[in-house]
């Protein structure tokens, strides 16, 4: 197809910053895994991918550089399924390389879908993964699916609308957003970095019912409890001096579709910052939960969400920002990202409950997800009786996950973990 006739898309507001901040271990790639109860059939998986992408033409894009902004351009390249043979969350976007921004691989009983964050957020990517897994299982087990089962009606229709632009109303203060990015310095996780700049993943699987019961004992939600538990685990590794001097700040992505109805699969999320001062911690998890709950309530009010979203979009619509050449924008965004990194300890993202058709649920064990960031990110996913915490970091040691798993055990919750550590064979 002639380049000039290819379809192209502007990046959404959140995606505009992503290529500029892609460096080192922060490849801006996230991985969604589906562990089945049987070995993956590669030929069937390839067929499922070919079928699924037809409903998501937007995903068959490559990232290009314009003079002022990055943009996505339609690609005729076909995603080829292969066995997982690359380091997890290996870069998908390499400047100058015209390649797809997602890859599908398999390993044993797992189907892995990795996606560059400029293409979609976790919610949008999960729509794709759900349809892929559905199509795969239907192809693999046609007898197990009811005869009137319609593939296309099982998942939401793909929508490539830029929801930020759709809901933007002039009046937000984009500069306020920049100022907020340079908040006070937070405690930074420490440890030896991977010499090859690869990401280290830890996947912790627990029983959903037990975690929900634990949340009920504290009269809170699963999301708030998760954030509180990780704050507790981080404090466990801080010295007394560090506890008195720095806050533990957790970034929590918020799905804006809950506040602004949209079927878009593209990025449509905001980030709230939950700060806790460890010097006030007396060993009672309830204190952390109360503090986190108050922060959530204050920042998740509809008014605050609207203001935050408008400030994101206001920056993009600022004339001076618009006409700044991309090369300068890249440098500016990298600079601001470095500053904002100092104000954040880690990110905790909750994908929520993943729904799959009842007919196909017996073939699926669980879902898990991992997202690369400059520091560390935990991505939580729940499928039926299994809840997973996916940790991704460029640090080779896992003090936080160690403390987290031990504290879960103390509270009666057993954990099964899997990592890609110590799995490097000598050449």
Partner 1 sequence: MLFCNKCNVNIRGSKAECPLCGSPLIGTPEDPAFPVLPPHKHTLRSVFKVIVFAFLVLMIVMGTLRYMIGPSAGWATAVMLWSPLGLAGVFITMTYRNNILKLISAEFYSVMVLDLLIDLATGWYGWSVAFVIPSCFVALVIVSFFVGRAVFGSHGGYLMYLITAEILSFFQIFFILADRNPFTYIAVAVMALMLILFLAEMIFFYQDFKNATSRTLHI
Alpha-carbon torsion angle 217, 218, 224, 230, nearest 10: -90
Residue 416 binds partner 1, judged by CB under 8 A: yes
CB atoms within 10 A of CB 298: 10
Residue 417 binds partner 1, judged by CB under 8 A: yes
**Beta-sheet pairing, 376-383 with 346-353:** parallel
| Residue in 64, 151, 188, 411 binding partner 1, rule: CB under 8 A | 64
406 Cβ contact partners less than 8 Å away, ≥ 6 residues apart: none
Beta carbon of residue 284, minimum distance to partner 1 (angstroms, whole number):
22
137 Cβ contact partners less than 8 Å away, ≥ 6 residues apart: 144, 145, 360, 363, 364
Q: Which of residues 148-167 bind partner 1 (CB under 8 A)?
A: none
Task: State the alpha helices, DSSP H only, in 220-350.
Answer: 222-236, 240-245, 285-299, 302-317, 319-323, 326-342
Residue 236 binds partner 1, judged by CB under 8 A: no
- Residue number with CB closer to partner 1 (27 or 155): 27
268 Cβ contact partners less than 8 Å away, ≥ 6 residues apart: 12, 14, 121, 123, 124, 163, 164, 255, 256, 257, 260, 262
CA angle 372, 376, 380 (to 5 degrees): 80
Select the span of 62-70, 213-221, 300-308, 373-381 touching partner 1 (CB under 8 A).
62-70
| Residue in 38, 107, 216, 327 binding partner 1, rule: CB under 8 A | 107
- Residue number with CB closer to partner 1 (241 or 422): 422
Residue 421 binds partner 1, judged by CB under 8 A: yes
Residue 83 binds partner 1, judged by CB under 8 A: yes
Residue 45 binds partner 1, judged by CB under 8 A: no
- Token pair for residue 208? 């959903």
Residue 333 binds partner 1, judged by CB under 8 A: no
**Cα distance between residue 248 and residue 230, in whole Å:** 10
First to last CA, the chain: 42
DSSP letter for each residue of 18-64: TGGG-BTTB--EEEEEEEESS---HHHHHHHHHHHHTT-GGGSEEEE
| Residue in 76, 85, 147, 192 binding partner 1, rule: CB under 8 A | 85
Beta carbon of residue 277, minimum distance to partner 1 (angstroms, whole number):
27
Residue 190 binds partner 1, judged by CB under 8 A: no
- Residue number with CB closer to partner 1 (88 or 215): 88
410 Cβ contact partners less than 8 Å away, ≥ 6 residues apart: none
Residue 322 binds partner 1, judged by CB under 8 A: yes
Residue 101 binds partner 1, judged by CB under 8 A: no
Beta carbon of residue 380, minimum distance to partner 1 (angstroms, whole number):
17
Select the span of 3-11, 259-267, 327-335, 346-354 touching partner 1 (CB under 8 A).
3-11
Are residues 387 and 208 in contact, defined by beta-carbon separation less than 8 angstroms? yes
Residue 327 binds partner 1, judged by CB under 8 A: no
Q: Between 122-140 and 42-53, two packed helices, what is the crossing angle to 10 degrees?
A: 130
- β-bridge partners, 272: 252
- Residue number with CB closer to partner 1 (216 or 409): 409
| Residue in 19, 87, 270, 343 binding partner 1, rule: CB under 8 A | 87
- Residue number with CB closer to partner 1 (96 or 261): 96
Residue 202 binds partner 1, judged by CB under 8 A: yes
CB atoms within 10 A of CB 297: 11
| Residue in 43, 67, 240, 320 binding partner 1, rule: CB under 8 A | 67
Residue 363 binds partner 1, judged by CB under 8 A: no
Beta carbon of residue 33, minimum distance to partner 1 (angstroms, whole number):
8
- Contact residues: partner 1, CB under 8 A: 2-5, 8, 10, 33, 35, 64, 66-69, 71, 73, 83-88, 94-97, 107-110, 196-198, 201-204, 322-323, 398, 401-402, 405-406, 409, 414-427
């Amino acid at each position: 197809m002639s380049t000039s006739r290819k379809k192209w898309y502007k990046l959404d507001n959140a995606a505009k910053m992503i290529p500029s901040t892609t460096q080192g271990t922060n490849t801006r790639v996230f991985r969604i895994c589906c562990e089945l109860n049987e070995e993956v059939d590669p030929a069937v998986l390839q067929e499922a991918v070919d079928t699924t992408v037809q409903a998501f033409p937007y995903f068959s894009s490559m990232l290009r550089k314009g003079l002022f902004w990055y943009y996505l351009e339609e690609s005729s390249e076909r995603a080829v399924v292969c066995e997982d043979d690359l380091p997890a969350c290996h870069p998908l976007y390499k400047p100058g390389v015209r390649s797809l921004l997602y890859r599908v691989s398999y390993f044993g009983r797992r189907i892995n879908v990795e996606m560059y964050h400029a293409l979609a957020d976790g919610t949008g990517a999960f729509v794709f993964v759900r349809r892929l897994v559905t199509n795969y299982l239907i192809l693999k087990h046609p007898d197990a699916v009811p005869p009137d089962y319609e593939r296309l009606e099982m998942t939401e229709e793909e929508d490539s609308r830029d929801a930020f632009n759709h809901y933007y109303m002039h009046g937000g203060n984009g500069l306020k957003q920049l100022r907020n990015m340079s908040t006070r310095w937070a405690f930074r996780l420490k440890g030896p970095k991977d010499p090859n700049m690869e990401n280290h993943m830890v996947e912790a699987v627990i029983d959903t019912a037990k975690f929900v019961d634990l949340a009920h004992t504290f009269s809170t939600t699963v999301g708030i409890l998760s954030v509180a538990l990780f704050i507790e685990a981080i404090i466990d590794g801080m010295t007394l001096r560090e506890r008195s001097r720095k806050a533990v700040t957790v970034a929590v992505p918020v799905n804006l579709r809950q506040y602004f109805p949209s079927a878009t699969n593209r990025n449509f999320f905001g980030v709230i910052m939950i700060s806790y001062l460890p010097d006030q911690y007396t060993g009672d998890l309830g204190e952390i939960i109360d503090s986190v709950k108050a922060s959530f309530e204050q920042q998740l009010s509809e008014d605050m969400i609207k203001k935050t979203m408008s400030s994101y979009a206001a920056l993009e619509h600022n004339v001076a920002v618009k006409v700044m050449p991309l090369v300068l924008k890249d440098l500016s965004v990298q600079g601001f990202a470095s500053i904002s990194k100092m104000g954040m300890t880690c990110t905790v993202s909750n994908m929520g409950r993943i729904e799959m058709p009842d007919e196909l649920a017996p073939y699926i064990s669980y879902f898990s997800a991992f997202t690369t960031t400059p520091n560390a990110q935990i991505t939580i996913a729940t499928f039926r009786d299994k809840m997973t915490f996916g940790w991704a970091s460029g640090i080779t040691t896992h003090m936080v996950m160690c403390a987290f798993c031990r504290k879960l055990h103390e509270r009666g919750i057993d954990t099964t973990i899997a990592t890609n550590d110590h799995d490097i064979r000598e050449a």
